[in-house]
Chains A and B, each alone.
Chain A
Amino acid sequence: MTSGQYEGEPLRLSLLLILFTILLVAVIAVATAIGDYNIRLGTVVLAVTNRLGLTSAEISRIEESVVWDLRLSRALVAALAGAGLSICGAILQALLRNALAEPFVLGVSAGASTGAVCVIVLGIGAGGLSLSFGAFAGAFAAFGLVALLSNGATSGPNHTILAGVAASQLFNALTSYIVTTSGNAQQARDIMFWLLGSFGGVRWPNFQLLLVVVALGFAICIWMGRALDAFTFGDEDATALGVPVARIRLLLFAVTAMITATIVSMVGAIGFVGLVVPHAARYIVGPMHLRLIPASAAIGAVFMVIADIVSRVVVAQQTIPIGVVTALVGVPFFAIILYRARPQT
């Protein structure tokens, strides 16, 4: 396999997108059918068509409610979260010119956990909504600090990464400080579970919000796709190709922070997806962003729904944190890509 093969083959992206759309529908159907209480696929389809007003089949109202109110919204949020994190990873890897960049590199997850801890432990605000709000506020506080430390991200990729590391350390230290001085054992456990991520408890309003944020972010990233390509040889080269580097960099950092903060505040800091999926996508459709961004979104969506299924079925009567599953499922898969894509020199 050489990287030349995708050249002049937009067909390959179309095929991938068609295949993954079919796959996505299939895994969402499976995710909706499987659980503590299994529901037949036929019933799943009828439940959805009933709620959409397309059919009025006679099925159990409990099953219909489980499908529609609990599992379908959960599966769709998982798909959007997977797509969103993967897009963010692809964008940050391009802007920071670093293969290790991922959605949390700018301190967003550390900030979110500090915000969440403020709510859980210190009781700032109360109720489920304010936990998300706390996480979101914390995420943006961290991003703001990174933007400040890196002069609005104009000081070059490494400087920005270092600023992200500093912000992450600061906010992680704040989190630990609050937990050790004010928290009890149960709260510490709650926080750890929250950080590893869970799709439990997401409902339709979460889906609607996430759909707006991810769709908007996706559109902006596609619009900037050509400009991102121009970053291949660095900032100066992008400037010479007519790209307003500082403006685009700040805009796209803000977009990734927005997507990531929304996802983290809903379902926790789910790792690995945003790092690995863009590499997998690049391996299939090449590094150019008008192909890479849709491919990353498609692969990320399918991957996350599968990870959610695995998290619910692998141990009976118990849900494994989704972040644990993404890493356990993702690492072997990533190892194959790393092995096959190793430099030939």
Chain B
Amino acid sequence: MSIVAENLTWGVRRKTIVRGVSLSAAPGETLGLIGPNGSGKSSLLRLLAGLKRPHTGRVEIFGQDIAQVSRRALSQQVAFVQQSAATDTNVTVRDVVRLGRTPHRSALAGWTAADEAAVTTALTHVDMLGHTAQAWQTLSGGERQRVHIARALAQSPRVMFLDEPTNHLDIHHQIEILRMVRDLDLTSIVALHDLNLAAMFCDRIVVLQAGSVIAGGSPENVLTETLLRKVFRVEAGVTRSLYHGRPHIHFTAA
């Protein structure tokens, strides 16, 4: 297994946000994390990526307990894409993607051919190679999101966590980004709101409600009409798509 989490619990003050979550992801797998607003998706991703320390439980990535690994060593393996990270600094697209090489470079090491290749490949993956010299402040929301993803890819991670990566993206780039994440040779856990995209691109789906895992498995097994009613409080019909063979959810107007 690439990622194994056991019994993770975390909260702020008296409010428990993540309750006893256990999950695992196999190498190369794309795992979707779905759930209503406030179900603990973002917090769980941060616990898995080692950005927050769980109150109980542990996370292993490639067999190593992440609490025992240095921050830098962890970042050489694990990348994290947060939702709409902002800056006032006047940086260029290239500056931002170059930051992805941080965990691989020592304090004063020069810029190597490997660094350059990683940055170029990452920019190509997100279709932003033509914008390298553009100032961050002049990018649209969707372009910024793609640059953040490129930065994560430039980290050359084996595991990637993405928090709502398709927010702000147009439909073409939503599909392109998720297709890329699925096809890349790395393990990824993606928090998603769009259930149809989750069905199309995830190998497995984990459903969170009020901080607990209440279902997990293949999209076919998880995305049922009963579950959608119970967790998301929507009426919907689920059919098998004629176009991609995955489940497709038809929301019914009241």
Contact = CB atoms under 8 A, between A and B. Distances in A.
Interface of A: 2-4, 7, 97, 99, 222-227, 229-230, 232-234, 236-237, 239-244, 282, 286-288, 290, 341, 343-345
A233 B137 contact: no
A244 B49 CA distance: 14
Contact of B108 (A223, A237, A242, A282): A223
Contact of A236 (B51, B105, B134, B155): B51
B50 to A, nearest CB: 8
Nearest to A283: B90
Given A232-B91, A241-B155, A288-B95, 13 more contacts: A3-B90, A3-B91, A4-B133, A7-B95, A225-B107, A234-B85, A236-B85, A240-B75, A240-B79, A242-B76, A282-B90, A286-B95, A341-B90
A236 B90 CA distance: 19
Given A239-B51, A243-B102, A97 B88 contact: yes
Contact of B100 (A99, A241, A290): A241
Nearest to A290: B108
B96 interface: yes
Interface in B49-72: 49, 51, 70-72
Contact of A232 (B99, B105, B135): B99
Contacts of B87: 97, 232-234
B75 A241 contact: yes
B89 interface: yes
Contacts of B210: none
A343 B105 CA distance: 32
Contacts of B82: 236-237, 240
Contacts of A232: 87, 89, 91, 95-96, 99
Lowest 6 A-B CB distances belong to which pairs? A242-B75, A242-B103, A4-B133, A242-B72, A233-B85, A240-B80
Contacts of A225: 107
Nearest to A244: B71
Contacts of A223: 107-108
A39 B155 CA distance: 59
A239 B105 contact: no
Nearest to A223: B107
Interface residues of B, number: 39
Contacts of A97: 87-88
30 contacts: A3-B91, A3-B92, A4-B92, A7-B132, A97-B87, A222-B108, A224-B107, A226-B102, A226-B105, A229-B99, A229-B102, A230-B99, A232-B95, A237-B85, A240-B49, A240-B79, A241-B155, A242-B71, A242-B72, A242-B75, A242-B76, A242-B103, A243-B71, A244-B70, A282-B90, A286-B90, A286-B91, A288-B95, A344-B138, A345-B137
Contacts of B74: 242
A4 B105 contact: no
A344 B100 CA distance: 27
A223 B107 CA distance: 6
Among A239, A240, A341, which residue has the most Cβ atoms of chain B within 10 A? Answer: A240
Contacts of B71: 239, 242-244
A233 B85 CA distance: 6
A273 B165 CA distance: 41
Contacts of A239: 51, 71
Contacts of A243: 71-72, 102
B246 interface: no
Contacts of B242: none
Contacts of B253: none
A3 B102 contact: no
A167 B70 CA distance: 34
B12 interface: no
A111 to B, nearest CB: 29
B107 A287 contact: no
Contacts of B248: none
Contacts of A286: 90-91, 95
Contacts of A344: 138
Contacts of B49: 240
A4 B134 contact: yes
B217 to A, nearest CB: 29
Interface in B202-240: none
A233 B99 CA distance: 10
Contacts of B96: 232
A241 B82 CA distance: 12
Contacts of B78: 240
B99 to A, nearest CB: 6
Contacts of B108: 222-223, 290
Contacts of A343: 137
Contacts of B135: 2-4
A12 to B, nearest CB: 14
B13 to A, nearest CB: 15
A194 B108 CA distance: 40
